[in-house]
Amino acid sequence: MKPRDGRSGDEALGDVTEIAPFRRSTPRMLLRPLEEADWLEFARVAELSRLEWAPWTPAPESDQTGHAAFLGELLRTVQGAKSGTHVRLAGFTERGALVGTFALNEIVRGAFQSAYASWQVSSDLVGQGLGTVGVRAILDLAFDDAPGGLGLHRVQANIMPANAASIHIAEKVGFRREGVARRYLKIAGRWEDHLMFAVTKDDRDGAG
Ligand SMILES: CC(C)(COP(=O)(O)OP(=O)(O)OC[C@H]1O[C@@H](n2cnc3c(N)ncnc32)[C@H](O)[C@@H]1OP(=O)(O)O)[C@@H](O)C(=O)NCCC(=O)NCCS
């Protein structure tokens, strides 16, 4: 990987695991930051899942595809970790298959202590409970105290009303519905309404 300034990808990004230290291990999935060596697996899953993800998730920034999309995600991972504004984790099965992406975005500190969660699961692995595992793991990470977690107070998620599987995951892991955001996100070229979900640390503590 050679960015335009001639530095290798390694030099440009630094040691991803050092910059983005958060990782979570569950019996069915390891969640860790994306690394350069993940490129082929990332490309396989992106191609396989493109049509299934398109109705529910924003198109890649600047219409990036292929290796540019991978580099964009890698950079978002590293820059988000450096600035403390994003924790973006890739989930992997024990055999090394990429399950999907589970992220805490737009992390705001101060009196808010909040983030927006996002998730997507590879089309060849849906329907096996892995989405639920990944979302639970990032909520644990969000609410656990530092240094292992982010010590946040609130996590929000916005989901299109027709995305029944995603709404089901949100409700299963403790998100409650708070309202409707009209024409909230541009998805597949249209400004789509989204249902607004949120969960706070005390909701989760109370739920055991
Ligand atoms: C939504 C998505 C993450 C689900 O991943 P997954 O690994 O299949 O999720 P899980 O298997 O953990 O859970 C899905 C749940 O929804 C249920 N479900 C699936 N389709 C459903 C439907 N049409 N109506 C109602 N429930 C549905 C499943 O039965 C399952 O519930 P259960 O475990 O109680 O049986 C995955 O399909 C995906 O990535 N979709 C495209 C991207 C996306 O929508 N991202 C979220 C944007 S907000």
CA 100 to ligand 1: nearest atom? 39
- Predicted pLDDT of residue 204: 85
Q: Within its chain, how far is the Cα of 145 from the centroid? A: 20
Q: Does any ligand 1 atom lie closer than 6 A to the CB of residue 126?
A: yes
In this structure, which residue's CA is closest to atom 16 in ligand 1?
165
- Predicted pLDDT of residue 78: 93
What does pLDDT average to in each consecutive run of 10 residues of the chain (208 residues)? 39 59 94 95 95 92 77 93 95 98 97 98 98 98 94 98 98 98 96 98 79
How many Å lie between the centroid of ligand 1 and the Cα of residue 62?
28
Beta bridge partners of 118: 103
Q: Does any ligand 1 atom lie closer than 6 A to the CB of residue 49?
A: no
CB-count exposure of residue 123 (10 Å: 0-12, 13-18, 19+): middle
- Predicted pLDDT of residue 1: 34
Q: Does any ligand 1 atom lie closer than 6 A to the CB of residue 129?
A: yes
Tell me the CATH number of domain 9-205, given options 3.40.630.30, 3.20.20.70, 3.40.50.300, 3.30.70.270: 3.40.630.30
Q: Does any ligand 1 atom lie closer than 6 A to the CB of residue 120?
A: yes
Place of tokens 């409970």: 129
- Predicted pLDDT of residue 109: 97
Ligand 1: which of 48, 49, 50, 121 to mutate, judged by most atoms within 8 Å of the beta carbon? 121
How far, in Å, CA of 34 to CA of 192, rounded? 29
Ligand 1: which of 51, 104, 126 to mutate, judged by most atoms within 8 Å of the beta carbon? 126
**86 Cβ contact partners less than 8 Å away, ≥ 6 residues apart:** 76, 77, 79, 80, 103, 104, 105, 106, 107
In this structure, which residue's CA is closest to atom 27 in ligand 1?
165
In this structure, which residue's CA is closest to atom 7 in ligand 1?
131
In this structure, which residue's CA is closest to atom 12 in ligand 1?
129
Residues 86 and 106 sit within 8 Å (Cβ to Cβ): yes
How many Å lie between the centroid of ligand 1 and the Cα of residue 201?
24
Residue-wise DSSP of the chain: ---TTS--HHHHH--HHHHS---EE-SS-EEE---GGGHHHHHHHHHHHHHHHTTTSPPPGGG--HHHHHHHHHHHHHHHHHHTS-EEEEEE-TT--EEEEEEEEEEE-TTT-EEEEEEEE-GGGTTSSHHHHHHHHHHHHHHSPTTTS---SEEEEEE-TT-HHHHHHHHHTT-EEEEEEEEEEEETTEEEEEEEEEEEHHHHHHH-
Task: Provide the residue ranges of all domains of the chain, joining segments of one domain with +.
Answer: 9-205
